[in-house]
Amino acid sequence: KMGYLQCKTDIADGKRNSDRSWRPVWVELRGHALFLNKEKKEGSHPFAFDEQPISVKSSMVDIAYDYTKKRNVFRLKTYNGSEYLFQADDHDTMLSWIEAVQKN
């Protein structure tokens, strides 16, 4: 699964992240790995991505019910104590990302 989402890193390795801004990211889910990039990278080699992928193995993903500032936001909590908020363009897109992450 791949597409553009807005992303805010809330907690990184258990600590409140200092950069708290929302930014558009190109996201690709490949197996247990969620690759984030500033721009679309479809079909490119994984190592071409800007950042280390986020492992979604043993993660928790759900609608961010408690985050009321934006619509269609889901939260990903990783096994190693990072938390990300992702905003999709619409409700169905949000649900399809949640489903895709849960399957991996």
Least separation, in Å, of the C-beta of 69 and ligand I3P?
5
Rounded Cα distance, 104 and 101, in Å? 5
Whether residue 61 contacts residue 74, with contact meaning beta carbons closer than 8 Å, is answered with: yes
Complex with ligand I3P: residue 11 or 100, whichever CB lies closer: 11
Least separation, in Å, of the C-beta of 53 and ligand I3P?
23
Complex with ligand I3P: residue 89 or 99, whichever CB lies closer: 89
Complex with ligand I3P: residue 22 or 49, whichever CB lies closer: 22
Q: Give residue number: closest CB to ligand I3P.
A: 20
Write out the H or E segment, with its range, that includes residue 74: strand 73-77
Least separation, in Å, of the C-beta of 81 and ligand I3P?
17
The residues binding ligand I3P (CB under 6 A) are 8, 20-22, 69
Return the structure tokens found at 11: 């907690």
Positive or negative: CA dihedral 7, 13, 16, 18 = negative
Rounded Cα distance, 43 and 19, in Å? 29
Complex with ligand I3P: residue 2 or 10, whichever CB lies closer: 10
